[in-house]
Amino acid sequence: MGLTKRNPSFPKLALGVFSTMTLAFLILPIIVIIPLSFNSAPYFTYPMPGFSWRWYAEIFGDSSASVMWQRGILNSFIVGISSTFVATTLGTLAALGLSQSTWRYRNLVYAVLVSPLVVPAIVSGLGLFYVFAKLKLVGTFWSLILAHAALGAPFVVITVSATLKGFNQTLLRAAEVHGASPARAFYEVTLPLILPGVVSGAIFAFVWSWDEIVVTLFLATPPQHTVPIRMWSGVRESFNPTITAVATLLIAMAIILMLVVDQLNQRNARFNSASR
Partner 1 sequence: MIAAKALSDGLEESAALNYRRELTMKEMRRGVLVAPLFIYLTAIFVVPIVLMLIRSVEDPEVSRALPNTATLIQAWDGEGLPSAQVFAALAADVKQAALDRTLGQAGNRLNYAIPGFQSLLMKTGQKISDAPAVDATDALVQIDQRWKDARYWLALRDASSKYSLFYFRTALGFSTSEPATEGRGLYLDVLVRTLWMTLVVTSACVVLGYPLSYFLANAPERLRNRLILFVLLPFWTSLLVRTTAWFVLLQKHGLINDTGMFLGLWSQPLELIYNRFAVYVAMTHVMLPFMVLPLYSVMLKIPKTYLNAAATLGAHPVRTFWEVYLPLSVPGLSAGVLLVFIITLGFYITPALLGGPADQMLSYYIAQNASNFGNWGLAAALSVLLLAVVGAVILLFGRLGATATTREA
Residues 97-136 that bind partner 1 (CB under 8 A): 97-98, 101-103, 109, 112-113, 115-116, 118-132
Q: Which is nearer to partner 1, 125 or 196 (CB)?
A: 125
Q: Which residues contact 37 (CB under 8 A, 6 or more apart)?
A: 55, 56, 241, 244, 245, 247, 248
The phi and psi torsions of 25 (rounded to 5 degrees) equal -60, -35
- The answer to whether 41 and 48 are in contact (CB under 8 A) is yes
Calculate Rg over the CA atoms of the chain: 23
Task: Determine the Cα–Cα distance for residues 62 and 69; give it in Å rounded to an integer.
Answer: 10
Separation of first and last alpha carbons in the chain: 34
57-65, 95-103, 170-178, 188-196 -> range binding partner 1 (CB under 8 A): 95-103
Residues 166-195 that bind partner 1 (CB under 8 A): none
Which residue from 65, 78, 180, 254 is in contact with partner 1, where contact means CB under 8 A?
254
Q: Which is nearer to partner 1, 43 or 62 (CB)?
A: 43
Residues 13-72 that bind partner 1 (CB under 8 A): 15-16, 18-19, 22-23, 25-27, 29-30, 32-33, 36, 43-46
Residues 139-158 that bind partner 1 (CB under 8 A): 146-147, 149-150, 153, 157
Indicate the angle between helix axes 141-165 and 64-98, nearest 10 degrees: 40
Measured CA angle at 65 (ends 60, 71), to 5 deg: 65
Count of residues touching partner 1 (by CB under 8 A): 80
The phi and psi torsions of 42 (rounded to 5 degrees) equal -80, 50
Task: Determine the Cα–Cα distance for residues 141 and 152; give it in Å rounded to an integer.
Answer: 16
Which residue from 57, 78, 195, 214 is in contact with partner 1, where contact means CB under 8 A?
214
Q: Which is nearer to partner 1, 45 or 62 (CB)?
A: 45
Contact between 213 and partner 1 per CB under 8 A: yes
Contact between 205 and partner 1 per CB under 8 A: no
52-60, 164-172, 190-198, 247-255 -> range binding partner 1 (CB under 8 A): 247-255
Single out the residue of 168, 208, 173 nearest to residue 192, CA to CA: 168
Q: Which is nearer to partner 1, 56 or 232 (CB)?
A: 232
State the nearest-atom distance from the C-beta of 244 to partner 1, in Å: 7
